[in-house]
């Protein structure tokens, strides 16, 4: 819901830092790999109830994810290869962390299953719609490789919810149910947007993209 606003605020600083890292020899693929390793570690730590470690590794995962795109853009520019690796890394960590919470907190298992179901619906709608819009060569909202419809639950909200899991594991069920409702609503938002944009008599896709109702993700490009 607030990803676009945060990107406008933090984007210039991240681009400058990405340029510094690129000139120091960093490669975007290394950052994507390091981010995935940190995320996998966060999942393992959460599953064993090592919550402070899980929190630190989760935040490290998000930091690496925020920087791989700027590093790529400071070098040879984004590639489809990098965008693919980045989104696979992100989705595997997102789902793995929910599984880890379910392992660590038996009382939250049903809520975690429900959350994963809404993840599946939301992910399917956004990836399918992104693919079809790329096929139509719609106008881009920004410089990143993949663009998806925005919604109530986006990346920033996911970061906050996983931080809450780590800080308040005893309330994991309540947190998971609340986020399930948000992600489910987002899936419906994206399905509605996709149906409107893709109908033969619908408006030109680019108009909604340029108006700010779209957000791009998967910034790790090689």
Distance of alpha carbon 61 from alpha carbon 40, whole angstroms: 9
Over the stretch 192-215, which tens digit does the pLDDT of each residue have?
877 887 777 644 444 444 434 444
The CB-side HSE value for 113 (13 A sphere, CA atoms) comes to 4
Spatial CA neighbour of 18 closest among 99, 82, 73: 73
* Mean pLDDT of all residues in 34-54: 98
Domain containing residue 67? 3-217
Is residue 158 a part of any domain in this protein?
Answer: yes
pLDDT at 219 over 90: no
Percent of the chain with pLDDT over 70: 80
Distance of alpha carbon 113 from alpha carbon 85, whole angstroms: 25
State the average pLDDT for the chain.
83
pLDDT at 110 over 50: yes
Over the stretch 138-171, which tens digit does the pLDDT of each residue have?
554 445 555 555 566 677 899 999 999 999 999 9
Strand partners, 146: 217
Is residue 39 a part of any domain in this protein?
Answer: yes
> What's the number of domains the chain is made of?
1
The secondary structure element, H or E, covering residue 210 is none
CATH number at residue 41: 1.20.120.1760
Is residue 56 a part of any domain in this protein?
Answer: yes
Identify the burial level of 131 via C-beta atoms within 10 angstroms of its C-beta, where 0-12 means exposed, 13-18 middle and 19 or more buried.
Answer: exposed
Distance, CA of 190 to chain centre: 15
Q: Do 83 and 221 form a contact (C-beta atoms < 8 A)?
A: yes
* Mean pLDDT of all residues in 110-116: 98
* Mean pLDDT of all residues in 47-75: 94
Q: Do 15 and 73 form a contact (C-beta atoms < 8 A)?
A: yes
Is residue 222 a part of any domain in this protein?
Answer: no
């Amino acid at each position: 819901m607030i990803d676009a606003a945060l990107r406008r605020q933090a984007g210039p600083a991240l681009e400058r830092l990405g340029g510094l890292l690129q000139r120091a020899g960093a490669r975007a693929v290394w950052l994507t790999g390091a981010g995935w390793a940190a995320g996998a570690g966060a999942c393992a730590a959460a599953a064993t109830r090592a919550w402070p470690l899980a929190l630190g590794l989760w935040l490290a995962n998000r930091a690496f994810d925020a920087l791989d795109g700027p590093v790529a853009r400071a070098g040879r520019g984004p590639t489809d290869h990098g965008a693919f690796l980045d989104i696979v890394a992100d989705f595997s960590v997102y789902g793995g962390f929910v599984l880890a919470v379910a392992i660590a907190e038996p009382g939250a298992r049903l809520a975690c299953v429900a959350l994963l179901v809404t993840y599946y619906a939301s992910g399917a709608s956004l990836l399918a719609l992104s693919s079809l819009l790329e096929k139509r060569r719609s106008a881009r909202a920004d410089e990143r490789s993949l663009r998806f419809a925005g919604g109530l639950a986006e990346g920033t909200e996911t970061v906050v919810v996983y931080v809450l899991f780590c800080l308040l594991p005893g309330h994991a069920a309540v947190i998971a149910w609340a986020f399930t409702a948000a992600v489910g609503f987002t899936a419906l938002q994206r399905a509605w947007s996709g149906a409107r944009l893709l109908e033969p008599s619908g408006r030109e896709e680019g108009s909604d993209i340029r108006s700010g109702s779209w957000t791009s993700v998967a910034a790790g490009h090689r």
